[in-house]
Structure 1
Amino acid sequence: MELTINGRKTAVDDAVIAPEMPLLWVLRDVLELTGTKFGCGVAACGACTVQVDGQATRSCVTPVAAVVGKQIRTIEGLGQPDAPHALQQAWAQHDVPQCGYCQSGMLMAAAALLLKSPNPSDAEIDAAITNLCRCGTYPRVRAAIHTAAALLQSGKKA
């Protein structure tokens, strides 16, 4: 089976994975892309959120067979240490992370939102970001998304 993850074609051994294996476990256990987190296993919390063809997708309930031929983007593909994504810059600027566990999924959901709506309203952010954060940093998440949207629209970096 061949997957396209963060712009790279990656072969996964059909003998190692079953088509119904959740994408989360292929990413974490087979490909060792551990930035995507396991939270609940039932698509409720969003810690496992990745993008599939630009859409925020809960990888804990997505069979790997469902993403063959699609573009998968994980937190490892969002930005680089020397070139962070505008969201990563805004996350740091607004001190969004507390414990940090939910953050990779939250960032991936926010990135998908900005692809769809480059200048989202508070209501759009609230509707799109359904990820759970035990630390309760939702107001900072919203502010960071607005900051990142402005950065992306201006073409500037923070």
Structure 2
Amino acid sequence: MRLYLPVCLLPSVLLTGCVTILDIQSNVRVADKPPFERILIVSRLPNVPPGYASTFVGAFPSQYTVCSVDVSPIDFETPDELVSRQLNECKSQVMLTLDLNRSFSGNSGKYIAGYNNIYLEMSSVATGKPFWKAITLSTTTALSPREIVQRLISDGVLSGKVAVADSRYR
């Protein structure tokens, strides 16, 4: 009887927790990482609300200046024009791009289902070379800015501590 109670309560405790863990794989090329303080966040994610990229601005440590741009298929400017304009306005040194990695599907025939993982890449604006890449291991539509920034810190790309971000994507 005593063993039965903890075994029954454990699943309910685990299922009601508010902690989210983002499963991602990442890779850093330290030799290509430039010194930087100004970052542009570019969201190319189609299934997020307008202004999603701006939720990343408040999550970065205070020593970084962060700008953002959401690329949408209904914009009259091309994605390159939007990004170029924002790079010039913000004088960003690096760019963190969030995009879908449409790499696999499941099932077949009329039951086929596509799975989209989110691909992240941080690259130097001066050279265009990426120095940090990551991909989510689970399918999702929006990422927590805090978790991504924490991953950048743990990978040694950023220094400092995660700031408080927009509560919608914590």
Give me the TM-score of the superposition, normalised by structure 1: 0.29
Pick the structure with greater CA Rg.
2
Structure with a larger share of its residues in strand: 2
Higher relative contact order (CA 8 A, sep 6+): 2
Give me the TM-score of the superposition, normalised by structure 2: 0.28
